[in-house]
Structure 1
Amino acid sequence: MASCRRNECSTEKGARSEENASKHKMLESNFSSTNLSHFAYGITASVFSVVLYGSNLVPVKKIEMGDGMFLQWITCASIWVVSMIGNLLLQSPKFYPLAMVGGVLWATANLAVIPIVKAVGLAVGVLIWSSTNLLMGWASSRFGWFGITPIEVARPVLNYCGVGMCLFSGLIFFFVKTDAELHPNSESIPLLIDRRMHSGSSGPSSSVFWIDNIGPRARRIIGSLLAVFSGLLYGSTFIPILYIKSHTSCLNSVFHGASNYDLDYVYAQCSGIFATSTVYFAIYCAVMNNRPRIYSRAILPGLLSGVMWASATYSWFLACNYLSPVVTIPIVTAGCGLVAGMWGSLVFKEVKGTANFILYILGSCFVLIGSLLTAISKL
């Protein structure tokens, strides 16, 4: 009788263990399936962001932009409008002013975009600032700079190798010589012209924008250094948001209970962009004695550029939500540089000569391989 009970008990235990094992396998399968789904969503959002970021300057490439101050203000106004619509769709999450600091950094970096594009072209300019953007954004999130919680990945060696290859591509692009147009459309005439500066001239070809009066070699060096400076600021725009998210569980922090959903902070960042660009434009108008160089043909392209940039940002933040910034920053920053480089070299013919083209292709291959390794490091 006792042996029967022991047999029944052992049989019952065996059935329970088999049931627990099957449940464990089911949970592992569901977890793996969820991870793969999130990976697919994140990669899709990253690709969408890469294409839009890499193409957002294309609408304004072939028009006369002058010193670019008016174009920046128009573009930032468009970005802010798109973010307002997104904020309404997200049911107006709590607004954190600290997230605006990222917008301040972005608007400051964006001041140099027009001089960079005029100095070294769209292809090389975007590729250089994307490389430094990548390094700053990745390092701050990976190692926990500025009070941010360090972000871990499943395969750190692959992550390091991928970032290293993307960064090395930026060094290669430094040596690519480009043929950038200083005046894409010489027939463009500013709406507001300072008669003292244009008296006796035949048109806007007598532009006094400082980058136009520098020799080709010095212009290339200055444009490259400005691209590095802008990239460092661009790479810092994520830091305030990551700081808020890192302190959401701290009881003594003012950010306790803050949202972990990255898209909830886009509106605050874009508000910082528009506010800062408005201040810069007002200062510019004062310095120009209320005679800013305003080109009417830049309005619609500038608005379109802003819509593309804001849409790319929402896609990027969504990708960060699924993959984490330490993965998406290298992919998006390096990828958008590659797309912009393709526009500049294949469409606008900025890269000329066999040696330059070989360097460009080599750098592009490093970007592709590096982005692939970074993406795999998440799995």
Structure 2
Amino acid sequence: MENWTDDVNNGTAGNNTHLALGFASSVVSVVLFGSNFVPVKKFDTGDGMFFQWILCGSIWIVSLVVNIILHSPRFWPLAMVGGCVWATGNITVVPIVKTIGLGLGLLLWASTNLLTGWASSRFGFFGIDPEVVAKPNLNYAGAALSALSAIIFLFVKTEVKSAVLVTESESTPLLRTTINWAENTNTDESWVDKLSPFQKRIIGSLMAVVAGILYGSSFVPVLYIKDHSKNNESMYAGSSQFDLDYVFAHFSGIFLTSTVYFLIYCAAMKNHPKVYPQAILPGFISGFLWAIATCCWFLANNYLSAVVSFPIITAGPGFIAAMWGVLVFKEIKGLWNYLLLTLAFCIILSGSLLTAFSKI
């Protein structure tokens, strides 16, 4: 695999192929990230702990297949740290949705994710080498526009019918009920349900910001290994420069961490965890889509560099999720909402083009 990528990098034609593969991977990643919660939309996931464990199990299985295809490249334990960081951020998703909704939650964690991932790559935080682009001003502008697009989604409203009161509709932030209360007999309250509205707002917002920082830092260990492979005195000397070679270790960290958290949760619940069987298959599908999207993100990092891929891949999924709301779930209606989505799409496209041109 490394020989193939070396051949691709030779010459102008190879560089064009490099860019084409990078942007194609980014598009696939954006579409799948914007769609991966769709399978679980109509199913109750409770407090999210069981759902996350199923999701992460599916993710690990995908990485195992990828590892076999790549003929089992060297396993670097440090790459698992990125998976641990991501899984730690991900356990907050369900509480975030229940406290402030996916609209505001997505805005906060996507924006923080974008800025953390982009800045750490651009300026060399956490011991990694700063990424150099041919036109830095275009890269700055592209990252700023991508962050701006996330803010616009906050003003897009949805009309969602309750699973309990089917005649009741309400105006809520974009895709707020992505994790819905389905028809079920489980009425147990979680800790989130006991919070006051003010407490939900504060705690949910803080969790979303922390989640975004953790998400944006999850690629740092892989970038660190790659950068230090050039130092003959480093323990990582000679390590692979192909990002996909680290997927198995990264995803193993995700599954291991989620399993530890789930076991702690089971112990805290005195061996009576809240298990939702109806979420198993949808959760597995959701994990499969997320895993493929992340593999494509690894490829985009490899072919474009993280400083280019982060603004594109963190901003685009919000628009894809909105399109699901418009075309399939019919939750987004009205001329004003359509105008906002059109504006957001134009800004995302402009930001993506600017980051693309900054590489050339």
| Corresponding residue number in structure 2 for 1:336 | 317
Pairing of 1:340-379 with structure 2 (within 5 A): 340-344=321-325, 347-348=328-329, 361-379=342-360
Pairing of 1:169-180 with structure 2 (within 5 A): 169-174=149-154, 178=172, 180=176
2:277 alignment partner, one of 296, 303, 308: 296
Contact 2:49 2:262 in 1 (8 A): yes
Q: Output the CA distance in 2 between the equivalents of 1:330 and 1:76.
A: 25
Determine if the alignment matches structure 1 residue 110 to structure 2 residue 110.
no
Contact 1:121 1:344 in 2 (8 A): no
Determine if the alignment matches structure 1 residue 241 to structure 2 residue 222.
yes
Cα deviation digits, residues 252-280 of structure 1 (max 9, x gap): 11101111010000000001000000000
Pairing of 1:141-290 with structure 2 (within 5 A): 141-174=121-154, 178=172, 180-181=176-177, 184-188=180-184, 203-204=185-186, 206-214=187-195, 219-220=200-201, 222-290=203-271
Q: Output the CA distance in 2 between the equivalents of 1:213 and 1:352.
A: 33
Contact 2:97 2:179 in 1 (8 A): no
TM-score by length of 2: 0.85
| Corresponding residue number in structure 1 for 2:80 | 100
| Corresponding residue number in structure 1 for 2:71 | 91
1:35 alignment partner, one of 2, 12, 15: 15
SS at structure 2 position matched to 1:62: coil
Contact 1:100 1:273 in 2 (8 A): yes
2:289 alignment partner, one of 265, 287, 308: 308
| Corresponding residue number in structure 2 for 1:13 | none
Structure 1 runs not aligned, ≥5 long: 1-29, 189-202
Q: Output the CA distance in 2 between the equivalents of 1:224 and 1:341.
A: 21
Q: Output the CA distance in 1 between the equivalents of 2:359 and 2:322.
A: 27
Contact 2:63 2:251 in 1 (8 A): yes
Question: Deviation at 1:175?
Answer: 5.3
Q: 1:298 to 1:235 in 2, by over 3 A?
A: same
TM-score by length of 1: 0.81
Q: 1:64 to 1:294 in 2, by over 3 A?
A: same
Contact 1:127 1:338 in 2 (8 A): no
Between Structure 1 and Structure 2, how many residues are aligned? 335
Q: Output the CA distance in 2 between the equivalents of 1:340 and 1:117.
A: 15
Q: Output the CA distance in 2 between the equivalents of 1:176 and 1:251.
A: 52
Q: 1:124 to 1:235 in 2, by over 3 A?
A: same
Cα deviation digits, residues 171-202 of structure 1 (max 9, x gap): 444555625349834433xxxxxxxxxxxxxx
The farther-off stretch of 161-170 and 252-261 is 161-170
Q: Output the CA distance in 2 between the equivalents of 1:365 and 1:208.
A: 42
Q: Greater CA radius of gyration, 1 or 2?
A: 1
Cα deviation digits, residues 301-339 of structure 1 (max 9, x gap): 111111111111111111221111111111111112322
Contact 2:116 2:216 in 1 (8 A): yes
Q: Output the CA distance in 2 between the equivalents of 1:214 and 1:182.
A: 21
Specify the code of the residue in structure 2 equivalent to 1:168.
L
| Corresponding residue number in structure 2 for 1:317 | 298
Q: Output the CA distance in 2 between the equivalents of 1:218 and 1:341.
A: 28
Question: Deviation at 1:88?
Answer: 0.9
The farther-off stretch of 168-177 and 366-375 is 168-177
Cα deviation digits, residues 208-235 of structure 1 (max 9, x gap): 1233344556545543432222111100
Cα deviation digits, residues 113-136 of structure 1 (max 9, x gap): 112233444455334322211111
Q: 1:126 to 1:229 in 2, by over 3 A?
A: same
Q: Output the CA distance in 2 between the equivalents of 1:322 and 1:183.
A: 34
Structure 2 runs not aligned, ≥5 long: 1-9, 158-171
Contact 2:41 2:178 in 1 (8 A): no
Q: Output the CA distance in 1 between the equivalents of 2:88 and 2:206.
A: 15
Contact 1:127 1:334 in 2 (8 A): no
Contact 1:80 1:271 in 2 (8 A): yes
| Corresponding residue number in structure 1 for 2:43 | 63
SS at structure 2 position matched to 1:377: helix
Q: Output the CA distance in 2 between the equivalents of 1:329 and 1:183.
A: 25
| Corresponding residue number in structure 1 for 2:161 | none
Q: Output the CA distance in 1 between the equivalents of 2:134 and 2:258.
A: 40
RMSD: 2.4
SS at structure 2 position matched to 1:271: helix
